[in-house]
Structure 1
Amino acid sequence: MSEEAIIKADEASGEEPFDAPVRRNAGEPSSDEDVDALIVNLDVYEGPLHVLLELARVQKVDLRKISMIKLVDQYIEFIAAARARSLELAADYLVMASWLTYLKSKILIPTVDDGTGEPTADEMAARLAFQLQRLEAMRKASDALFAMPQLGLQVFPRGLPEGVRVLKTPLWQADLFELLNAYARQRVAAVDRTYKIDPPKVFSIEDARARIERMLGAIPEWTDLTKVSPPKDVDAPAASVVASSFNAALEFAKNGALEIRQLGHFEPIYVRRRRDAPKAAATMTTDEKTEALE
């Protein structure tokens, strides 16, 4: 009789079906176990290899009674079957088997404390078990990611996607001191204050006139006004320096001490000392000349 006929006969008789254990060969996983798990069948243990390592760590399985020959033979059979599926899987279990062999060698060989700080067999077993747990967690996370709906397979983007609007609601958390501090800052900011305007930095006309007066003897020929202006390291804007120098040059030209010439619009302004200028007029300012005429 087939398995389905036996189940139907049990249901018709009203008796619960007998769930007998099914024996499986070494290296063959059960239906509810991972198909990528290496199932070993040794004298003192039968099950996945990573569980064997965990039991060895908690000392429930004596590694000294495990046959390395059987373990290697079963590992070779598993690798031959898993090579077609995943080479990384075979490499992982190769590391497990090599570590298990190394742990057994550490147990069989007497430990000698040489002061090098080499980890013991229990410590190495704990580290290996932790690495296996991390590997299993990463595999489960990878399977969970691939089990999610994939863009272009299960879900598809819209032709005209809409922007996602995010509404933020602030949640204020403050104690009494912070509230009083904020209130005090607002009250202090509301107090009337005297607005004080800092005077701008300018190059005064008096300084420009004094500089041109000192340079009258050095400009017998036509010279660009910018060369007569103070150097760039003066603590004043360049526009103020040019304007003050031009104003002072106009005053000297009005007094008859300078000649000013410009060849065209927006062209450089040239100045030179007037050769027949009177000495008194060369040193008099506009206000002094006006007072002298009166």
Structure 2
Amino acid sequence: MSETQLPLAEDWSLPERLDPTARLAAEALIVDVEGFEGPLDLLLTLSRTQKVDLRRISVLQLAEQYLGFVNRAAKLRIELAADYLVMAAWLAFLKSRLLLPPEPGEEGPSAEELAAHLAFQLERLQAMREAAARLMARDQKGRDFFVRGQPETMSLHRKVTWDASLLDLMRAYARIRTREDFRPFVLDREHVFTMEQALDRMRGLIGYAGDWADLSTFLPEGWNATPMARRSVTAAHFAAVLEMAKRGQLVLRQDETFAPIRIRRAESRSEGQS
């Protein structure tokens, strides 16, 4: 295989000036091993897709040809030699994994799994390159087409067209009617008179009730301002006097059905004995 021989540069501080054709020829690594001949990146691609039998490729010949290329490419671009080194190292690693039997208990993916994974990554890279090529092949503004000097003002008008059957209309009407008829009851706790409040009031007022007195005289002012307040205050004080009568703190009586409820303070034992 003939290879392009490049003259050595006398001054390593200055890059050697080469015409584009000579530079491309120098940067193209050509390998010639048993079973395959071509650029190393193509060899890597074919090895990933398993189109080339790696068991037939001599790693020694590959390394010798690579070292010769590195000597030529050192004067051109050091990153180019680094890229080819990574590719050659991966190829040698993959061949060693294929030739050597797997050790018992060895962790990590097998050679076949590694090759399949790298082939998948290469397919993704190829798809991205193709998508980028298609994108760059499209017409570009300022090169293939140009915008108008006085662009027109565009306005968007939205027109809604409803498509509903008679059954859909009936269902929608039923949902609206159900939502209007159903009103959950919400208790206004700020205007509710509790039994605890009534007990506190009755304990302070019952001491002044020496004789029978109507229960309504113990209710607070404005207790009948609204129907809700009247019911709440009456029920709370009625429950309070029942609780106090149970504890023996007062006596209550009602002469007949629906008659006013009258209460008085219960007599203590000392008062009864006197």
Q: Relative CO higher for 1 or 2, CA cutoff 8 Å, sep ≥ 6?
A: 2
Q: TM-score range by the shorter chain?
A: 0.3 to 0.5
TM-score (norm 2): 0.41
TM-score (norm 1): 0.39
